[in-house]
Chain A
Amino acid sequence: MSKVIDTNKEYKYGFTTDIESFKAPKGLNEETIKFISKEKKEPKWLLNWRLKAYKRLKLLKEPNWQKPKYPKIDYQDLYYYSAPKSTKDKPKSLEDVDPKLIETYKKLGIPLDEQKRLSGVAVDAVFDSVSVATTFKGELTKKGIIFCSISEAIQNHPDLVKKYLGSVIPLTDHYFATLNSAVFTDGSFVYIPPNVRCPMELSTYFRINASQTGQFERTLIIADKGSYVSYLEGCTAPMRDENQLHAANVELIALDDAEIKYSTVQNWYPGDEEGKGGIYNFVTKRGACRGKNSKISWTQVETGSAITWKYPSCILQGDNSVGEFYSIAITNNHQKADTGTKMIHLGKNTKSKIISKGISAGNADNTYRGLVDINKKAINSRNYTQCDSLLMGNKCGAHTVPYIRNKNSSSTIEHEATTSKINEEQLFYCNQRGLNQEEAVSLIVNGFCKEVLQQLPMEFAVEAQKLVSISLEGSVG
């Protein structure tokens, strides 16, 4: 098959906004950490916690087992804190917000003003590292739901933060998680009180703006007994030549009968066609099903970043708890993705399901790496895993590395994986009915991903479907 389409759409969200940034001095040291802590008016215990993490960090080495290799990061050459200056005095309402910020959000399509009512999405927009405005707060407050930036939560709900922060991803976990614990700047905090069903999808748009600022987000979501929450995370980033590091930590905690649904659409700058630039997305996401009958479901659509390296995991501690992982990872040009999940079954009758779809085009490399570990005490547990990979072109790679351990006989594990290219007959069928090559591929790929796409909330599903097509443009050949 010859190359039919050459046009490659430029990265749609590649722009930067000129806002004066307020930065901490460059470099990673105790002073920087103290500076961040002071700027954020944090209590003493948190500063100590950060310093403890930093002490631990000095003992750790950067991991090197993963498939995507990256140039060495000079941690002393990064800024660890940057906040748009105009938010130093917090705006009271939308009118007070810097108009340039509003403009940025408009370009991103974030429904901050009129649109917010129409779409019914409450947005906690993170511009660089400090939350600027939070919408729909009133409605959520009525139900007792806390949805704010983690810095606010540290000020206003210190007990909750102290109790749960670091309880799923401990200080000592691994290099990037520990780095995050030491220098995290902001992120979201959600607490759903017992027996409350969150009336709307909670959503945060992250945005990396200031150049050379690694973003260290920290998200903490707690669903108390019998509650339900669906959380969306979407990412776009401006065009940059330098590689930017993003090492976020996301912790989810589901107590008895609670359910958390966490959806991500990740569309950060992947670097240009030669693989120059792009974001390093080294994220630690982990959820603990602490309570009985609890459920955590991860859904992710990963199309951006030069290197994506993340494994949203579920620790199924409570009896009858359920963990789910639905993933689409699309890599094009020189992108590299090493992603998957860990399902650790500890409680009785726990269930997990993994559906992973990897699509690799251009010179890209796509790896599914996952662990299913059923412990001795996790009797009657079940796991089902399916990972399918699609290859487009003969310069890309698709890899599957599952680790499967079954330590008791009453549990069942099923795993299957396939790798193939797009079915010629399906292509021919579409071509015959007047679709051009690119439309046909888009249609087939969307079909291939359907099982995952249908897990996404409505607003996201539409965006994700478009993303899937855009990401593969120019890769048909």
Chain B
Amino acid sequence: MELNFKIKDKSDKSLKLREENLLTFKKKGFPNKREEDWKFTDLEKVLKDNFKELNNEQLDSKKPNIQNLKFIHNSIILINGKLESFDFKSENSKDKNYLTIKELDIDHHLNFANEFKDNSMQNLNTALHEGGFNLNVNSDYTFKYPIVIYNYFTGSLKNKMINNSESINMSINSNATIIEYLIDESEGNFFKNTFKYVNLEENSSLDYFFINKNESNNFFYEFSRVKLSKDSNFKKYLFSSGMKFGKFESNIKLNGSNSCGEVYSGLFLGINKHQEIKTNIQHLKPSCQSHQDIKNVLTSGSKGVFQGKIFVDEIAQKTNAYQLSKGLLLDEDSEFSTKPELEIYADNVKCSHGSTSGNIDKEALFYLKARGIEGKEAVKMIIKGFLESVLEKIKNKEIINILLKHFNTHIKYENRSN
């Protein structure tokens, strides 16, 4: 695989740092399975098998076919990773300073870039970083309507590598729901490497949904660093079914007492899909809570990976942490690998995890068949029930509808003799 990475931004401020990072990346290369964090997902091999070349040359972006989710919402439009426009008219707020949004520049990116410099993907991101957005929600503001980020990929993106980053800051007492809606209508394969920095100040809350619209033949790596202050609350929902390759890392730091971090995901992985969810939830202050619920349905040579870690610092007493990962394997070619990890240094805690994998419960199937539901339909029903269980805590009906539709598009259960 040929790598043609060139630093385009030659500004004095950042050039040196970009060069250093590019050099570090070139030394380390793309991560492979010899690295513990990439044990089950050999990125180097995946890229080599799918790309002859990767470059960061100018993107030839086309105007996308504008999609509109049919409910009242605010919107932000990204095209090929860059901020295109935004529209907060629906919010109709009297308070003019409730929010600021602008294109994310390298200065802002550098505030975080050094945090994960052991990760060669971070090195690459810093070296080639272009665009993204920076969103700041001001204190005491509660959004009336969700914010939808339409994340379009258009035009010919053959052999392109997109490196961007996003930053979201929730000020004191603010509340918001964000839906990132990924629409891929590009031609040719590309690889996207995104770093997200989310900061929640005291008593704020953010629900973040990631929903993939259609089938995508592309490769996504995303690293989110989430920092929570006292009494804040963060929920992440990940629905990336349909993507050929995805690795989503969440590094959640519970850095204030009584904060709460949650991660939910329900994935259906079809023909040769490979997706990994990796979480690292760090309980750094007392009385924090975390909850994780990961469900994977696997078929036709797909590979699902979950690596989840709960870390409890010695001062983080009264921690309550729970993690559940379940894999439903529908045929012989699929594989589910998990590494649910606990690292605990405090004694007054309640931490547990569970992990299961296997085929559809024969008794459940028999129960449905006995009630006149035909084999294929019964299996589909069980799969749906299995995945939809992660939606239980969502209150917004509009979002539930989008997700049910998402499942309908992506659950493609064929043949079988059941």
User: Chain A: residues with CB nearer than 8 A to chain B?
Assistant: 65, 376, 389, 391-421
Contact = CB atoms under 8 A, between A and B. Distances in A.
Given A394-B347, A402-B339, 18 more contacts: A391-B347, A394-B317, A394-B348, A395-B345, A396-B347, A397-B345, A398-B344, A399-B343, A399-B344, A400-B340, A401-B339, A405-B40, A405-B337, A416-B352, A417-B353, A418-B350, A418-B352, A419-B351
A395 B314 contact: yes
B377 interface: no
B337 A411 contact: no
Contact of A404 (B314, B331, B339, B359): B339
Contacts of B344: 389, 391, 397-399, 419
Classify the secondary structure of A's interface with B. Answer: strand
Given A409-B329, A414-B356, A404 B338 contact: yes
A184 to B, nearest CB: 30
B390 interface: no
B201 interface: no
Contacts of A392: 347
A403 B332 contact: no
A400 B349 CA distance: 15
A396 B350 CA distance: 15
Given A411-B358, A415-B340, A415-B355, A421 B332 contact: no
B314 A399 contact: no
B321 to A, nearest CB: 9
Given A394-B314, A398-B342, A417-B353, A412 B359 contact: yes
Contacts of B40: 405
A393 B356 contact: no
Contacts of A411: 357-358
A406 B349 CA distance: 30
A404 B329 contact: no
Given A412-B356, A416-B352, A418-B352, A403 B347 contact: no
Given A391-B347, A401-B339, A416 B354 contact: yes
20 contacts: A65-B36, A376-B332, A394-B314, A394-B317, A394-B346, A401-B341, A403-B337, A403-B339, A405-B335, A405-B337, A406-B329, A409-B331, A409-B359, A412-B357, A413-B355, A414-B355, A415-B354, A417-B340, A417-B354, A419-B342
Contacts of A407: 334-335
B266 interface: no
B351 A413 contact: no
Contacts of A65: 36
A389 to B, nearest CB: 7
B347 A406 contact: no
Given A65-B36, A397-B345, A417-B342, A404 B357 contact: yes
A397 B327 contact: no
Contacts of A397: 343-345
B178 interface: no
B314 to A, nearest CB: 6
A409 B349 CA distance: 35
Contact of A420 (B39, B349, B357): B349
Nearest to A424: B348
Interface in B46-104: none
B379 interface: no
A138 B57 CA distance: 82
A450 to B, nearest CB: 20
B342 to A, nearest CB: 4
Nearest to A67: B343
B357 A400 contact: no
B378 to A, nearest CB: 16
- The residue among A391, A397, A409, A412 with the most chain B CB atoms within 10 A of its own CB is A409
Interface in B214-268: none
B336 interface: yes
Contacts of A408: 329, 332
A405 B339 CA distance: 9
Given A406-B329, A406-B335, A419 B356 contact: no
Nearest to B357: A406
Contacts of A412: 356-359
Contacts of B337: 403-406
- The residue among A396, A408, A414 with the most chain B CB atoms within 10 A of its own CB is A408
A444 to B, nearest CB: 14
Given A394-B317, A394-B347, A419 B341 contact: no
Contacts of B357: 404, 406, 411-413
A32 to B, nearest CB: 33
Nearest to A371: B339
Nearest to B36: A65
Contacts of A413: 355-358
A260 to B, nearest CB: 28
B355 A400 contact: no
B351 A406 contact: no
Contacts of A394: 314, 317, 345-348
Contacts of B327: 406
B121 interface: no
B358 A406 contact: yes
Contacts of B330: 409
Given A391-B347, A397-B345, A408-B329, A402 B340 contact: yes
Contacts of A410: 332, 359
Nearest to B347: A391
A396 B347 CA distance: 8
Contacts of B329: 406, 408-409
A58 B254 CA distance: 46
A393 B344 CA distance: 12
